[in-house]
Structure 1
Amino acid sequence: MFILAYPVVVCVAILCIGSLYPELKYHRIPNYLTFSGMAAGIFYQCAFAEGIVFSVAGLLLGLGVLLPFYLLGGMGAGDAKLMGAVGAFLGPAGVFEAFLFSALIGGVYAVVLMTIHGYLRQNLKRYGRILKGFFITQEFIYVPPPKEMKDIKLFYGVAISVGTLFSVLFP
């Protein structure tokens, strides 16, 4: 697709690895990390590479792909801002690729967590009931997950970091 400059890979790796500790320990990605990552990405792209339009477009796309999930309560704002910071370095095409890798890794991560906690079979049955109800009644009837399942913590910043690292190391 495109070849990334070595400094971009190093900066993105530092950003992603640096976000893991606060995400795992405090369940949040701090603003000082995400906003400084955005500023560094814009600065780097303006000073040494593609320019401000490339960087800001990547930042906005990075925020935009995760903003709906944040607004629906599926993830924290730090996750969306982290993807925006990644976009400031990688630009639109790079952040979209990082998003796809992150979504894939996030899905595998969720399945592993459900398996570990013993909810995978129960969740598959629940979705089966939803589909069966739809085909019989032609209406979407949502079956909520059990309350215990909501206690499972999925740290999506980890999926973003790992997915982004995969996307820059194995383009």
Structure 2
Amino acid sequence: MSIDPRILPPAAVLAALLVAAVWHDVRTRRIPNRLVLGGAVAGLAFQALLAPGAGLFTNPFGALGLLNGLAGLGLGLGLLLPMYMLGAMGAGDVKLMAMSGAFLGPHDILGAALLTMIAGGVLALLVALGSGRMGQVLANLRQLLLHALVRAGTGGSARLDAPPAPTGKLAYAIAIAAGTALQVALARFPAWSNLL
């Protein structure tokens, strides 16, 4: 398994951006706009300026083109936007996924979003277990589902409300970085997907 050296510049830039986002999110619970905007521009520049190919992190190496970079950015934004609208995550998280989409393109951002959701669930469970709040998390879940079922059964909307007793905020950039990194690894080394 040799690494094509042309993958190193976009991989290094994406990795640096994700590490910086995680650092800011853990420290301040915010992801700076200039970081995600600069990252999106960098991802789009790689897609527009490098020789064409199957993707920045796939074989054969090469850019997908500006339109596919924009499609990845838009899809990354759209995939997490409903979570923001429900109040389940911050705007910086949504913009960070969009930035990743500029690097990954429309196909791979779908996998990255799915892997991010899985990583986010694991992260939430670890935080709940580590902080001793697992009981409150389960009580909140029970109450949310019960209220949604009662509303649906009486002809109302089955929407989920905010939990009655919040259990804290997650630095969701960790999950986005993990999901993006896993997708890059799976795109670069498709045989690894057999391990999952």
Counterparts of 2:185 and 2:101 in 1: how far apart (Å)?
16
Change (3 A) 1:29 1:121: same
CA contact (8 A) 2:36 2:99 kept: yes
| Among candidates 54, 61, 86, match of residue 72 of structure 1 | 86
1:88 maps to: 102
1:110 maps to: 124
**Paired positions, count:** 166
* Structure with greater helix share of residues: 1
CA contact (8 A) 2:76 2:101 kept: yes
Aligned-residue offset at 1:119 = 2.8
Deviates most, 10-19 or 105-114? 10-19
Q: For residues 54-65 of structure 1, what are the structure 2 equivalents within 5 Å? A: 54-65=68-79
Counterparts of 2:107 and 2:100 in 1: how far apart (Å)?
11
| Among candidates 161, 164, 171, match of residue 155 of structure 1 | 171
Change (3 A) 1:141 1:88: closer
Deviates most, 122-131 or 63-72? 122-131
Structure 2 gaps of 5+ residues are: 51-62, 188-196
Aligned-residue offset at 1:71 = 1.8
Instruction: Give the share of equivalent positions with the same residue, in percent.
Output: 37
CA contact (8 A) 1:126 1:143 kept: no
The root-mean-square deviation of aligned C-alpha atoms, in Å, is: 2.6
Change (3 A) 1:25 1:129: closer
Structure 1 gaps of 5+ residues are: none
Question: Secondary structure at the residue paired with 2:88?
Answer: coil
Which TM-score applies when normalising by structure 2? Answer: 0.74
The reply to whether residue 165 of structure 1 matches residue 165 of structure 2 is no
Counterparts of 2:146 and 2:172 in 1: how far apart (Å)?
30
